[in-house]
């Protein structure tokens, strides 16, 4: 199954390092990040899980729940969690799904036959409170994911869901944004009474709303 942006993501039940969960119930009204791993005891994924554990306060601050997935037995997760702490200094502080039967991986289209018939590719799914897919990123096994970039994208997604703006190249939270073309100049005067800079008729730059 291929998931497209805007699709409602599948619900599922699974065993995790924090006990059994029903995904929708676990997620509640929060934003969520689900990220997959081929299996336990893989070196790149070990570094990633440690980094997400360190960044969890940043996800919490944004109202985002994080959950990992590995196509391996729950009985193996405990030793991997210990290895992650030993290797990265971080204690796992979010659930890690045991997806040994590949049920969740197949639901989310995380197995790409041209790469491997059995192992999940290393995908990231950002899910909104409406249970719709807002972002997906897929990395090869050889390249570690950049979770600072994922936080940056979440900042953009949350901002643009609330205001009629888009974020420009390399934008980070607090920087100027772009008024979306669907908003006329007349409507923009009401939405952005402080004014904006017109670079081109279709490119109107304004201070990030909601920062004061």
Instruction: Look at residues 91, 79, 14 and name the one whose alpha carbon lies nearest to residue 40.
Output: 79
Sheet containing strand 13-16, edge to edge, reads 21-22, 13-16, 96-98, 64-70, 31-37, 122-127, 133-139
Active site residues: 45
Distance in angstroms (rounded) separating the CA atoms of residues 101 and 79 = 20
Distance in angstroms (rounded) separating the CA atoms of residues 156 and 165 = 9
3-state secondary structure of 152: helix
Per DSSP, helices labelled H in 125-195 are 147-162, 185-191
Distance in angstroms (rounded) separating the CA atoms of residues 145 and 125 = 12
């Amino acid at each position: 199954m291929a998931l497209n942006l805007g699709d409602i993501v599948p619900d599922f039940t699974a065993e995790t390092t924090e006990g059994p969960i029903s995904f929708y119930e676990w997620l509640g009204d929060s934003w969520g990040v689900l990220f997959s791993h081929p299996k336990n005891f893989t070196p790149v994924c070990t570094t990633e899980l440690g980094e997400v554990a360190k960044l969890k306060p940043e996800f919490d601050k944004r109202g985002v729940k994080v959950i990992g997935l590995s196509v391996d037995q729950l009985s193996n997760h405990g030793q991997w969690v210990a290895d992650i702490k030993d290797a990265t200094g971080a204690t796992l502080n979010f659930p890690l799904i045991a997806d040994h039967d590949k049920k969740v991986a197949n639901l989310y289209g995380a197995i790409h036959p041209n790469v491997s018939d059995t192992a999940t590719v290393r995908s990231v799914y950002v899910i909104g409170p409406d249970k719709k897919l807002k972002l997906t990123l897929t990395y090869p096994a050889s390249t570690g994911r950049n979770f600072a970039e994922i936080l940056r994208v979440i900042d953009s997604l949350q901002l643009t869901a609330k205001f009629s703006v888009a974020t420009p190249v390399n934008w980070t939270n607090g920087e100027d944004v772009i008024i979306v073309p669907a908003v006329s100049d007349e409507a923009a005067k009401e939405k952005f009474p402080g004014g904006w800079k017109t670079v081109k008729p279709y490119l109107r730059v304004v201070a990030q709303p909601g920062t004061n």
